[in-house]
Structure 1
Amino acid sequence: MSTRSSSDLTHQEVNFSAEDEVVLVVPNFSLQQVHLLGGTYGPFRPQIQAAVPLWFATILKKQGKCCIIPPMWLNVNALRTVIETERVDDVFQGLPFHYIELAAELCKHARDDMIDWSRLYDLVDTIRSVRHVKIQSGLRGLNADALKGVKLRHLSAIEVNVLRPFMSSVVDHFLNCFK
């Protein structure tokens, strides 16, 4: 049974940090500015886009005070392109650090603002699966020399969190070899 290190994050903690990602909303109310602990947002004017953290956008959405604009990468064509490229290229495609959590939250809270939200959710899950297989196959062949060439750019928060315990044990093992 593994013990949890202080540097390990739970799935809920990763989701919580994703809620600070900025999204665009189109408010249907007027308000100068809102001063919050994380920053100042607004002004809010009907039909004029405003950038707010995801957590604030979901609150406004639940209250019927805005529409959430899905990010440019969250559309069927863009996601299909990412899937095709992920399958043939060894390099991870550039996606937002919290793409999995963002997509899940937007598909949950902003369904009526999205075109074919269930298809988008499935495509993001396919990307996650393809990238997971790519990570697993890349780690299977690791040896001490291979560690020099490991490239893990463009991993998402959840992917990094899954890898963290493994990579920590690899580094610990590597350091123990030199003691």
Structure 2
Amino acid sequence: MAFPLPRGITPSEIAFLAEMETITIVPRQRLEGMELLSGSIEPLGPPRRASLPLWLALLLKRQRRAHIIPPSWLHPEPLSLILEVESQHQDYKNAFSPPPPLPGQASVTDHETESIARPQYTPDGERYYAAPPFLPHNISGAGTGEKEVPALPFHWIEVGNMLLDAASDDLVDPDQLRRLLKDLREVRMAKMRSGVDALDAAATGGGGVALTGVGAMELGEERGFLTGVVDNLRKIGASKEQARREQLADQRANGGYGATQEDEEEDYMEF
């Protein structure tokens, strides 16, 4: 018997994965180091900052053992700028603001190109590059260059909501942040739902749907809608094509088909 679960990853599972995002804290007391599956945590001591997984930072915050430093994008000014770009800029009318570059990619700022590749190493000494949610996009100081455009990380919805719920006193104007996150989420959701023409072209094999910059929670919530629209459009296209071929077959059988030999060959090639 199959379990009645939706296709793909659920929102609760996406939020669980987002808890592995790295966040910056300032400990309020000395804490011993520990060994985690994601790596070793060095001993903590105030006022020295440290980068910890989000779940551990939230645990220390609830125990009043640390303060959380919000990431550079979780401030009213960057979110207001991203919202303005998403809703008013012509270049992003049907697109999303670009995400932070991945490790190994070049970050282009005006005429300068800066490599942000940060290799990591396993206990055996093998080098590797981290992937979401193990990217340093939410630590203090990430992407704070003067020439860099603010960018939303892959788990921006989950991280923002978790910090607003558990560490609102560490954020700048949390009420305004809630409004900005809500407005930004609605604008981006409307873009995804309004791309029916692009979905129609993708269903008939005429291209794809650009989802560059879309977050994990947005993909999880809209997966059912997007796949349902594409499936229905594909069925409609198949039924229209079948009806057209049946009509042509009836015209040939009744002797009323006046097409030339070239039209017949072209129809055969399309089939």
Q: TM-score higher than 0.5 here?
A: yes
SS at structure 1 position matched to 2:207: helix
SS at structure 2 position matched to 1:144: helix
**RMSD (Å), alpha carbons:** 2.4
In structure 1, the gaps of 5 or more residues are none
1:137-148 maps to which residues of 2 (within 5 A)? 137-144=194-201, 148=207
The aligned residue for residue 224 of structure 2 is 165
State the shift of 1:23 in Å. Answer: 0.5
Higher helix fraction (1 or 2):
1
Checking the alignment, whether the CA contact within 8 Å between 1:27 and 1:48 is kept in structure 2 is yes
1:76 aligns with 2:80: no
1:154 aligns with 2:186: no
**Higher mean C-alpha displacement, 26-35 vs 16-25:** 26-35
The aligned residue for residue 97 of structure 1 is 154
The aligned residue for residue 134 of structure 1 is 191
The aligned residue for residue 25 of structure 1 is 25
Give the whole-Å Cα distance in 1 for the aligned partners of 2:44 and 2:196: 48
When normalised by structure 2's length, the TM-score is 0.58
State the shift of 1:141 in Å. Answer: 4.8
Checking the alignment, whether the CA contact within 8 Å between 1:26 and 1:48 is kept in structure 2 is yes
- Residue 143 of structure 1 aligns with an amino acid whose one-letter code is D
State the shift of 1:144 in Å. Answer: 2.9
**Higher mean C-alpha displacement, 158-167 vs 21-30:** 158-167
In structure 2, the gaps of 5 or more residues are 100-151, 239-271
- Residue 91 of structure 1 aligns with an amino acid whose one-letter code is A
When normalised by structure 1's length, the TM-score is 0.86
Give the whole-Å Cα distance in 2 for the aligned partners of 1:21 and 1:84: 26
SS at structure 2 position matched to 1:142: helix
Change (3 A) 1:149 1:9: closer
Larger radius of gyration between Structure 1 and Structure 2? 2
Give the count of matched residue pairs. Answer: 174
